[in-house]
């Protein structure tokens, strides 16, 4: 494998000096780009796109051709593991992901297999290898998975939910059974991320999209505990360098100290927490990733630049910051505004380093 020409992102996650703050966007390969829509139409369906290594590689590279980004992220979905467990993932237009066979009983949970990542999820590893080769050392490749708690919410609810009543009924009425499920999911995620690392991912992120719907005690018991288990089981050195791990809990600002103590290298922040406050609370223990409100990209470029400047000033001097949105970019954002955001980070962040 070629040496990295730009390792700013990996250095920042390890709080090593960089010349400017690295930047990438969650969902940077996605529906806001016309070229993505064209490739998605060619693929036929979202899952067909995920399962075609060449097309998954193409959409991963599309934002890098437009913007001066410091990382590529694998094009896939957080729900590939439950799909590989036999739940039958499908996508309803305008309604998001759903499962044909959601978890409804103790027997369903006990029957869940732990997928072999090179077999049932081999298409993801093929995509990782294809993308890593195509990147040719330009920027690092980020691998990812959903967290056990977030995967469980979809598996039990059967799709998107506003109340989380089915999964909360499970954890509060039958906690031992919930732990059986979450433990299997933690094992599956660990195997899955380690396979991505072996296939070429140079950093990994765990997306705990729904951790923020829990109370503090429930978050620690049913979400963070299992992310800690995964972090402890991950390959942390590969190809002669450290493989950084980012934990991102949407709505997790209340528990920053606990997340930072999980063994991860970086904590992802959503937009509801002030980054200056986050840095005060956890100091230089881990790096911070974030945290502009994705809706800020609807603003005029001058306003986007002001917000970038505010967040950079909030984090302050020195390494340990990866600039990102506080969640995924919205599908109806003007690509030119995304460009204005990335340009502002690249231009304004240099004064905070060196």
Q: Reply yes or no on whether 27 is catalytic.
A: yes
30 is in an annotated binding site: yes
327 marked among binding-site residues: yes
Which residue in the list 154, 192, 219, 226 is annotated as catalytic?
154
Euclidean distance between CA atoms 272 and 252, whole angstroms: 9
Instruction: Please give the biggest Cα pair distance in the chain.
Output: 58
How far apart, in Å, are the Cα atoms of 85 and each of 9, 117, 240?
33, 11, 33
Q: Which of 8, 15, 36, 40 is catalytic?
A: 40
280 assigned binding-site residue: no
- Please tell me which residue in 8, 9, 15, 27 is annotated as part of the active site: 27
User: In the sheet that 245-249 helps form, which strands lie side by side, from edge to edge?
Assistant: 72-73, 141-146, 203-208, 245-249, 266-268, 287-292, 321-325
Q: How far apart are the first and last CA of the chain?
A: 30
Q: Catalytic site residue 154?
A: yes
Does the annotation place 238 within a ligand binding site? no
Closest C-alpha among 288, 280, 293 to residue 259: 288
19 labelled catalytic: no
67 among the known binding-site residues?
Answer: no
> Is 280 an active-site residue?
no
3-state secondary structure of 29: coil
User: Distance (Å, rounded) from C-alpha 32 to C-alpha 152?
Assistant: 28
129 is in an annotated binding site: no
19 annotated ligand-binding residue:
no
Residue 77 annotated among the catalytic residues of the structure: yes
Preceding omega of 291 cis (within 30 degrees of 0): yes
**Active site (catalytic) residues:** 27, 31, 40, 77, 154
Pick out the residues of the known binding site for substrate: 27-31, 77, 154, 209, 327
């Amino acid at each position: 494998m070629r040496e990295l020409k730009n390792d700013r992102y990996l250095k920042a996650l390890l709080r090593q000096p960089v010349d400017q703050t690295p930047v990438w966007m969650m969902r940077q390969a996605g529906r806001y780009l016309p070229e993505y829509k064209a490739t998605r139409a060619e693929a036929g369906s979202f899952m067909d796109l995920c399962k075609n290594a060449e097309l998954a590689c193409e959409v991963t590279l599309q934002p890098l051709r437009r913007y001066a980004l410091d990382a590529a992220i694998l094009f896939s979905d957080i729900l590939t593991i439950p799909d590989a467990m036999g739940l039958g993932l499908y996508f309803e237009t305008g309604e998001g992901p759903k499962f044909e066979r959601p978890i409804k009983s103790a027997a369903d949970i006990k029957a869940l297999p732990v997928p072999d990542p090179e077999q049932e999820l081999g298409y993801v590893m093929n995509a990782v290898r294809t993308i890593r080769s195509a990147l040719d050392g330009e920027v690092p490749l980020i691998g990812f998975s959903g967290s056990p708690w977030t995967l469980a919410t979809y598996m039990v609810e059967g799709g998107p939910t506003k109340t989380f009543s089915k999964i909360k009924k499970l954890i509060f009425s039958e906690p031992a059974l919930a732990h059986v499920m979450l433990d299997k999911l933690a094992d599956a995620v660990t195997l899955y991320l380690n396979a991505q690392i072996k296939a070429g991912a140079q950093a990994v992120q765990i997306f705990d999209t729904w951790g923020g719907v829990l109370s503090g005690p429930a978050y620690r018991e049913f979400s963070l505990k299992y992310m800690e288990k995964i972090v402890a089981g991950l390959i942390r050195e590969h190809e002669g360098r450290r493989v950084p791990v980012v934990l991102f809990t949407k709505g997790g600002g209340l528990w920053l100290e606990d997340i930072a103590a999980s063994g991860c290298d970086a904590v992802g922040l959503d937009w509801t927490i002030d980054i200056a406050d986050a840095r005060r609370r956890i100091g230089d223990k881990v790096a911070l990733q974030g945290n502009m409100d994705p809706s800020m990209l609807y603003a005029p470029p001058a306003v986007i630049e002001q917000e970038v400047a505010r967040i950079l000033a909030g984090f302050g001097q020195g390494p340990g910051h990866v600039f990102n949105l506080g969640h995924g970019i919205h599908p109806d954002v003007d690509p030119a505004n995304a460009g204005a955001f990335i340009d502002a980070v690249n231009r304004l962040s240099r004064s905070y380093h060196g």
